[in-house]
Structure 1
Amino acid sequence: MSWRYRANATLEGLTGYTLKRRLEKAPPKPPPPPPLVLQRLPGDVVRPPVDPEHDRLLREPVFLLSSVRSGSTLLRVMLNSHSQVHSPIETHFRRVTVGLGTDPVRQAMEALGHNHSDIEHIVWDRLLHRELTRSGKPILAEKTPSNVFAWRRLAACWPDARFVFLLRHPMSIVQSWHEADPEKRPMEEAVPRTLSYMTYLEEARTHLEGLTVRYEELVAEPERELRRLCLFLGLEFEPAMLKYGNKDHGAFVKGIGDWRDKIRAGTVVEGRPLPSADEVPAELREMCRQWNY
């Protein structure tokens, strides 16, 4: 029997306590590094194509930048009705990334002069170019509202890109977003959620050259606005753009499937009056001022 045991037994008999050596907690283990497939190449930066002639197949793509609930689907199908413009469904291409899961492939990409973003840009370009060539048309016009959050990267990926900025009254955007699903989209969330889109859209308008189109004017004077848009794109206006319901505009993502019937019937346009000044919350007033509403 060890002296430690005898001493502890005596102490416990006299006082009811025992002595225990305090164990030092081991320092927390550092989190494991992410697997190679999720790691970016060292020194990754977003930059224009190193070799534009060979790194890009798309020439002068058009990007429709807008907030959600701004009429971008309406403008898309109008453009897609032109014989020279292919405007596909929302592709969300910027969410497509690449994984370089082994050291040899990472070393090979670095030896070829690619950083991680370069490779993603090549994939994006190829994906969109495939859609364009399959359409048989020469001009691609892509619209995915979340692209406003990546406008800098779009401009870097395609330095020759053209931009169309679609505006709508900020409060109309908020109301439309809420009304699309009132239970899941309460009004108290509508302002901050949609304002983030508007903020980045205004930032893009400030830094990029492009054409601004207003949803309200597109609805009120569609031919006039489409003629202006065609002039910007170097195209002749085609009356078929006003008869967008006569064409198939591709599959619709979940959540807006009911728009297919509206488009075929030519009733996509929402005819809501502009909100009054009293209806505009304080958070939206600066945006209304910047957009001249």
Structure 2
Amino acid sequence: MAIELKERPIFVIGYERSGTTLLMAMLGCHPRLSMPEVGWLFPRIYPWRHTYGDLSVEANLRTLAGEMLFGLNQPLWGMSLNPATAVDEILALAPERSFAGIYTAMHLRYAKEFGNKPRWGQKTPNNLYFVPQILDNFPNAQFIFITRDGRDACATSIESAFGAGNAYGAAYTWNAANAFVVPFRQRYGGTSTWFDVGYEELVREPIRVLTQVCEFIGEDFAPEMLDFFRTATGVARGKQRDHAPLGHAVSDKYVGIYKNLLSLRDQQIYATVAGETHRNAGYDLDVEPIVISEQDKALWWEWDGRYRAARLDGPDGHLVFESYRDWLVDQRLVRKQKGIWSEKDVTPEFPIGHADEEIIVGFRAWKKWKEHFSIKRQYNKK
């Protein structure tokens, strides 16, 4: 069933490496807003909720709650929960026995512990693919979509420990994400449901843009939002190579970095793959597109996949996170073997079977290449 909260939940979405974490950290400093770390619960669990069986059965409900709670990238979101009783505490807060009920309880528990704030939000980039599903669960949800010059976002993705393997892969994923939300923007833009933020405007005029954001969500502007880099999240993230901008005051020094990080050839590839979406987002292009053969596309996509897999256990790689994601998939099969669900329970549900399913779900490498390179799982950081 849908849950309509008195305090409207806020969902920050956008292509990864576009400033979603920055906006999350800023909003999390507002005295009324609670913004935990990424959840990835809609992409990784929601489409497969049928595999948990009848949630009126206590054991099934507890399994769902346990996987949602212990499958977070940051363990328990840093909450002071006893792992042995965490599921009990979350279920006690749930307004209903459902995915949405557990989702609500997790955010309420976080908001209570960290500032006892009345309103919560969630930043998971790939929630952009699940706007209708989120609204089915939370009809009065509000979405803030942040757009960044795709060339900068792609350059940062290639440089990161978990992003694309080359310019083609980065351009493809940026284009797919930003093109996907166009129907949502057309439907909800200009209403109290959808608000667009430009990364470049945010870092150049943070007070003006944050004031507009606050007006959209019905809150007063809070100067504390500019102190995000002093918070525990800002300090911790700022120490990571991939999130260094969180470690200091907001700055526009990352605008236009593609000029140094992308070769002319890379920029041409980007223009070819994502040029139309790029221009529709309000950005200009420095170069003209080129002709890319189907053979080159296939080759670059394979290189992208191979590099993603090989990088998993490299410096700052996301092998632990990826291992838990793979484990979640395994558990679906375990439940099927136990008879908790069967093929007759399956209904067509996005993104199951979609050509970009692994991208949408947020895997850092594709199953094909993890198996090819015999990538071994690791469940604890060494």
Could you tell me how far 1:290 is from its partner in structure 2? 2.0
Of 237-246 and 56-65, more deviation after overlay is shown by 56-65
Structure 1 residue 225: Cα displacement: 0.4
CA deviation after TM superposition for structure 1 residue 88, in Å? 1.1
* CA shift for structure 1 position 242: 1.4
Letter in 1 for 2:240: G
2:246 counterpart letter in structure 1: I
Residues 195 and 216 of structure 1: CA distance in aligned 2, closer, same or farther (over 3 Å)? same
* Equivalent residue number for residue 187 of structure 2: 207
TM-superposed deviation, 1:78: 1.0
Residue of structure 2 equivalent to 1:35: none
Tell which deviates more after alignment, 204-213 or 244-253: 244-253
Q: Which residue of 2 aligns with 1:237?
A: 221
- Structure 1 residues 104 and 220: CA distance shift in structure 2, 3 A: closer
Q: For residues 163 and 219 of structure 2, what CA distance do their matches in structure 1 show?
A: 43
Matched with 2:277 is 287
Output the amino acid matched with 2:279.
Answer: R
Distance 1:247 1:196 in 2: 33
SS of alignment partner, residue 36 of structure 2: coil
Matched with 1:192 is 172
Who is 1:7 aligned against? none
Shift of 1:139: 1.8
Q: Which residue of the partner structure matches residue 25 of structure 2?
A: 77
**Does structure 2 retain, via aligned residues, the 8 Å contact 1:74–1:268?**
no
Which residue does 2:369 correspond to in 1? none
1:172 aligns with 2:152: yes
Deviations 1:84-132 (A, max 9, x none): 11111101122345554589949x99xxxxxxxx822222222222222
Contact 2:200 2:255 in 1 (8 A): no
Q: Distance in 2 between matches of 1:281 and 1:250?
A: 34
Q: 1:123 and 2:102 equivalent? A: yes
Shift of 1:152: 1.0
Q: Does 1:149 align with 2:129?
A: yes
- Partners of 1:104 and 1:76 lie apart in 2 by 34
**Superposed displacement of residue 184, structure 1:** 6.3
Q: Name the Cα RMSD after superposition.
A: 3.5
Which residue in 1 is equivalent to 2:254? 271
State whether residues 67 and 201 of structure 1, in contact with CA within 8 Å, keep that contact through their aligned partners in structure 2: no
Which residue identity does 1:289 align to in structure 2? R
**Change beyond 3 A, Cα 1:156–1:175:** same
Which deviates more from structure 2 when the two are superposed, residues 157-166 or residues 122-131?
A: 122-131
Question: What TM-score do you get using the length of structure 2 for normalisation?
Answer: 0.53
| Deviations, residues 205-248 of structure 1 (Å, cap 9, x unaligned) | 22333111100000111111011111112222122211222222
**Could you tell me how far 1:183 is from its partner in structure 2?**
9.6
Matched residue, 2:118 = 138
Larger Rg: 1
Show the counterpart of 2:204: 220
In structure 2, what is the Cα distance between the partners aligned to 1:234 and 1:273? Answer: 32
% identical equivalent positions = 23
SS of residue matched to 2:181: helix
Q: Which of these residues, 245, 248, 257, is aligned with residue 240 of structure 2?
A: 257
For structure 2, which runs of at least 5 residues remain unmatched after alignment? Answer: 62-96, 284-382
